[in-house]
Amino acid sequence: MAKVVVGMSGGVDSSVTAYLLREQGHEVTGVSFMLWEARERTDFRTCCSLEAINGAAETAKALGITHRVIDVRGDFIDKVIEPFVDGYLHGITPNPCVLCNLHIKFPYLLKEAGVIGAEFISTGHYARVERVDGHCLLKKGIDPVKDQTYFLYVLNRDTLCRLLFPLGNYTKESVREIARGLKLPAAQRPESVEICFIPEGDYPSFISNIVPEAAKPGPIIGPDGSVLGTHKGIFNYTVGQRRGLNVSSAEPLYVIKIDPENNAIHVGSREMAFKREMTVGDLNWTVPPVKRVTAKIRSMMRDEAAELLIEEGGD
């Protein structure tokens, strides 16, 4: 069988991934990344804490596989944290996990694979790779609740062809059952539920600590153009947000637009928050584009039917 490098976060998914690949006869090497505050954080709620790295090492020992730790903090700051902060300052709600997959996780797994001569890399994502006529296609996992292809769309075909996703054919509960049956250290560990470099999920405080001048007050503007209140920095808001607006209104108001040029937040009714079309960028074509597609704007929402229109000169 083949040599495989597995990204291990200390959680149940990557632990069972390493086990399944070992059981298939592969020679497995586990790799964990030191990303951000790994030295300070001591909980299992994030994938880069010291305890998470130690947990991955403990699991690797239990499985009888090699485990390595790679320090990627410099690249993580430059390629994930700084774009994350910059996105919020420009009125965009970024997805740091996508940036991490593109710039950190998969490139470094491939780099480690090159060092040890491994043919494949693997992670604990709930996704599948389908190999058809020499082409590799990213497919959803069988568990609709845990499908994670949303975070993997940036991977190119060469990377996909070197990927193994054992969990794509499992549900989350069946993965936990495997871990419990094997008495793996990760079996009862909580699932990672927050951005790994944001303490307690409080991203506004994180951003204001890095860029204090970003907490610049500005107007909250209603549907009729009147000023309803004052915001505390546009990075505190995202389109569709209702809570925390602190404005008086006879009906519930939602953020419908963030205007970074004028440092303004526009609010309106729930109906005004819905859009029938949007402009998208940073696309990654692994197959020729088609007109009829499905789309979603956040990982946990249901896919919706959509029509794709490619602009002249667009990418």
CA angle 129, 134, 139 (to 5 degrees): 20
For the stretch 122-180, pLDDT in tens is 999 999 999 988 889 999 999 988 989 989 999 999 999 999 999 999 999 999 999 99
Reported pTM? 0.89
pLDDT value at position 314? 58
For 276, the token pair is 């029938």
List active site positions.
Answer: 100, 196
Q: Which of 2-11, 49-58, 65-74, 219-228 has the lowest mean pLDDT?
A: 49-58
Which is more confident, 189 or 231?
A: 231
Q: Which domains does the chain have, with CATH numbers?
A: 3-200 (3.40.50.620), 216-271 (2.30.30.280)
Q: What does the pLDDT look like over 249-290, one tens digit per residue?
A: 888 999 999 999 999 999 999 999 998 898 888 888 888 888
Spatial contact of 109 and 5, defined as CB atoms under 8 Å apart: yes
- The full 3-state SS of 41-58, as one line of letters, equals CCCCCCCCCHHHHHHHHH
In this predicted structure, the answer to whether residue 39 has a pLDDT above a threshold of 50 is: no
The backbone torsions φ and ψ at residue 128, rounded to the nearest 5 degrees and listed phi first, read -140, 155
Q: What is the mean pLDDT of residues 212-234?
A: 94
Region 45-57: mean pLDDT is 77
**Containing H/E element for 297?**
none
- What does the mean pLDDT of the chain come to? 90
Q: What confidence tens digit (pLDDT) does each residue in 174-197 have?
A: 999 999 999 988 888 777 667 888
